[in-house]
Amino acid sequence: MSNSDIDKTTRLKKENEGRYGYKRITFELKPSGYTINHKTVLKFMIECNIGSLVMISRYKSYKGEVRK
């Protein structure tokens, strides 16, 4: 990853206040002309400790014991 890629990634992260994860950052880099793999972006984010601050919880269909 070049310095311009790193600068762009950290700038995107700061602009969005930690709400963007590696997938969204990769998606934002592609229209700007950066051809970079999502795994490379993830590796960089792990190295620099700039992970996403928001964790979306998955839908849980289990409701426990339901009585009639």
pTM over 0.95: no
pLDDT confidence tier of residue 54, bands split at 50, 70 and 90: low
How does pLDDT run across 5-35, given as a tens digit for each residue? Answer: 666 666 766 666 667 788 888 888 888 787 8
**Measured distance CA(24)–CA(38) in Å, rounded:** 9
The CA dihedral of 2, 55, 14, 5, to the nearest 10 degrees, is 10
- pLDDT higher than threshold 70 for residue 38: yes
Nearest CA to 10 among 31, 35, 28? 28
Average pLDDT, the chain: 75
